[in-house]
Amino acid sequence: MVNGLTDRISKADPILGFTDRMTVKLDLDEMSFRSVRYWANLVLRKYKLRGYIILKSSKKCYHVVFDRYVNWDENMSIVGWVSIISKSLKLKDYLGMQCIKMSSTLRVAPKGDKPSPRIVFKYGSQDHAIKDFLEFRQRIKKIFRSVKNMSARK
């Protein structure tokens, strides 16, 4: 008999996302679309981030990706500023987790019963960080579909 091992096999349920240190990303949960646009526009102007896209990840949950690359310190300063000014506890939790990991991540593939986040709004420049994010997102979604198809065949 071996202690600590069981005959149950745990299934990994990975969440596929986009992670880097240079792209300003906000995870705005429990907010209306109107509020998300307000915060995105305010951040865009204050930090001169050129443009942004908003993705809807689930009901009243949105992701915002900005177009200008920044260094890690400025990235976390921006997310920290928004989390304090907006009084969003969910965004403060997101900020804390990104600081612990020392990189920031947004989900790009389905998670449980939630579909992949979908683009619901674009504003301004889309030629730098957004372009790279969208290219990566397409690659990840393609990989996810092919892995899902392989699993369905078994």
Q: Is residue 59 part of a domain?
A: yes
- The pTM of this model reads 0.87
| Domain membership of residue 60 as a residue range | 18-144
CATH code, 47: 3.30.70
pLDDT value for 149: 78
pLDDT value for 8: 52
pLDDT value for 11: 61
Q: How confident is the model at residue 12 (pLDDT cuts 50, 70, 90)?
A: low
The count of other CB atoms within 10 Å of the CB of residue 145 is: 11
Q: Is residue 12 part of a domain?
A: no
Give the sign of the dihedral formed by CA 118, CA 75, CA 40, CA 51: negative
pLDDT one-digit tens code per residue, 74-86:
999 999 999 999 9
Q: Is residue 109 part of a domain?
A: yes
The mean of the pLDDT values for the chain is 91
Query: What Å distances lie between residue 3 and 6, 7, 8, 76, CA to CA?
Result: 8, 11, 14, 43
Q: Is residue 153 part of a domain?
A: no
Q: Structurally, how many domains does the chain consist of? A: 1
Q: Is residue 13 part of a domain?
A: no
